């Protein structure tokens, strides 16, 4: 799984891929840790989608630019455009995000 470390990483990943879902997390966040295996499972089940992680503490410029206020937050980009944002470690909502619901 790819990790965003800075604004350039973010710009490149979103520009170069059709559909991208980014997991904004921190290492100390309990709900982030709980949903991580499910996010990794989705990456295997949906190979046409690029799944990426972004540690908010190491990439504050990216999370601040995108307005991430809580963690975990998942943001979907389609053709470079932010289309959907969900906050919280809800597997049903995350699966809906992946399926385009």
Catalytic residues: 29, 32
3-state helix, strand, coil in the chain (%, to 5): 40, 30, 30
- Among residues 48, 47, 66, 46, the alpha carbon closest in space to that of 4 is found at 66
The total of other beta-carbon atoms located within 10 Å of residue 90's CB is: 15
């Amino acid at each position: 799984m790819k990790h965003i470390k800075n604004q350039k990483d973010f710009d490149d990943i979103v520009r170069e891929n059709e559909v991208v879902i980014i997991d904004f997390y921190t290492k100390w966040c309990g709900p982030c840790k709980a949903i991580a295996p499910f996010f990794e499972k989705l990456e295997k089940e949906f190979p046409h989608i690029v799944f990426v992680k972004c540690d908010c503490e190491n990439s504050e410029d990216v999370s601040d630019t995108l307005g991430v206020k809580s963690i975990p937050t998942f943001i979907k980009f389609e053709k470079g455009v932010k289309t959907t944002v969900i906050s919280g470690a809800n597997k049903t909502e995350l699966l809906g995000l992946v399926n385009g619901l």
